[in-house]
Amino acid sequence: MKRLFTLAALSVLTAFNFYPLPAAAARVRCADFATQQEAQAYMQQHGTTYLDGDKDGVACESLPRGSGSTRVPTVARPQQPSQALLTAAVVSVGDGDTLRVQSQGKAMTVRLACVDAAEMKQAPYGQAASQRLKQLLPQGQRISLRVVDVDRYQRTVAEVYVGSTPVNLQMVQEGQAVVYRQYLSGCPGLRNQLLQAEQQAKRQRLQFWSQARPVMPWEYRQRQRG
């Protein structure tokens, strides 16, 4: 009788996909996943933020991307950037182009649109960009977001405003971030200002541009994966 009860209980658990989580002592590591997609899905489901070493909302970036596994939920991308502004409050800043906010009772990760800051390991420029963004966006700061997209890591990509000041543009003006030309079409209203600001920062050799041979953040990430 006891054996029948056990088998019945097991069948119910299996049918509803109730599988036990790994024991706390057996901490999940990036090496436990075959692809980055699997690690991203696990982090989003269980809140295991330690899989995101550089706090940019992306888990286990060193792993291969994967082949389109459905374990990471897909999000419909808008055909054109939304013009509606979403209000939010800053919770924390991860690095020079990523932050966590609270909006309409929900927490979300926001990626600054159309710009790219040095990675944290690109010392000292990554740390400097992160510190400056923390100064511009302290905890509790009220901001407005013009949402551009949702990226493959499920981060909300947006122009961030404090009042009427676009923080994305300010980071470029100060040499703390560079223009992400691959995605520049997402910011039609800021496009020319961003390009002009970058040229000015380069001429003045501000922050990131003070290097003799700067490695663009996207190139650095590609090298690390490769």
For residue 6, the Cα-to-chain-centroid distance in whole angstroms is: 44
The residue from 132, 146, 155, 221 that is catalytic is 155
38 included as an active-site residue: no
The residue from 119, 159, 174, 198 that is catalytic is 119
205 included as an active-site residue: no
111 included as an active-site residue: yes
The residue from 61, 111, 132, 198 that is catalytic is 111
Catalytic residue IDs: 111, 119, 155
